[in-house]
């Protein structure tokens, strides 16, 4: 399954060019601005390094080349909100990232993807990692804005189901006989 040729996104990641630059608003909130994109991420408790690390972690946990960073950033935003509401959560996140960097003997985010993964594997049973992973499950796969690109069509009852919209349109295998699969009413 390994993709030998680097695509543009992977290249950008490996070269570190997607790292956000920081704009500090007068309110004290930090906006992370990503080069070449039309969106930014506002964080209040997490700093630039922590935000970038979390963002990279979410992508490493469930990597989809076709999914834009802004969808992964939803998870970072969730953690920032949780951290601003609860000091324990803030500490857990900050400690988790420190641990990651310690294991990397430097900045985890500066490592190659393979090395990043090796280190994530070491912390995969930690509460810190599991929280990020489980938030990703809903933030990414339960995000209706992403369903179409995964080929999922969502709610169908309001369209009359699929009785006339291709429930049996697969044409690359032989059709079963009517004894096994009678015609629709």
Q: How far apart are CA 165 and CA 154, in angstroms?
A: 14
For other proteins, which is the closer residue by CB, 91 or 122?
122
Are 133 and 61 a contacting pair, CB within 8 Å?
A: yes
Phi, psi values for residue 46, rounded to 5°: -75, 145
**Footprint (CB under 8 A) of other proteins, residues 118-157:** 124, 130, 133, 137-138, 140-142, 147, 150-157
DSSP 3-state assignment of 151?
Answer: coil
Shortest reach from residue 44's CB to other proteins, in Å: 27
| Contact status: 23 vs other proteins (CB under 8 A) | no
Contacts of 33 (CB under 8 A, 6+ apart): 20, 21, 22, 23, 40
**Footprint (CB under 8 A) of other proteins, residues 60-89:** 60-64, 66
* Binding interface with other proteins (CB under 8 A): 1, 60-64, 66, 117, 124, 130, 133, 137-138, 140-142, 147, 150-158, 160-163, 165-170, 172-176, 179-185
């Amino acid at each position: 399954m390994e993709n030998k040729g680097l695509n543009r996104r992977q290249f950008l990641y490996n070269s570190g060019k997607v790292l956000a630059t920081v704009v500090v608003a007068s309110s004290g909130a930090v906006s992370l601005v990503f080069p070449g994109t039309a969106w930014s991420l506002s964080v209040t408790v997490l700093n630039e390094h922590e935000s970038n690390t979390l963002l990279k972690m979410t992508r490493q946990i469930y990597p989809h080349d076709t999914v834009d960073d802004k969808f992964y950033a939803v998870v970072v935003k969730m953690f920032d909100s949780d951290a601003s509401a609860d000091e324990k959560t803030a500490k857990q996140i900050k400690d988790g990232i420190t641990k990651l960097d310690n294991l990397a003997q430097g900045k985890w985010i500066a490592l190659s993807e393979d090395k990043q993964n090796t280190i994530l594997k070491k912390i995969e049973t930690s509460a810190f990692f599991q929280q990020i992973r489980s938030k990703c499950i809903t933030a990414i796969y339960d995000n209706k804005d992403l369903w179409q690109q995964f080929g999922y069509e969502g709610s169908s009852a309001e369209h009359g189901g699929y009785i006339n919209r291709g429930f049996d349109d697969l044409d690359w295998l032989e059709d079963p006989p009517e004894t096994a699969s009678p015609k629709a009413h």
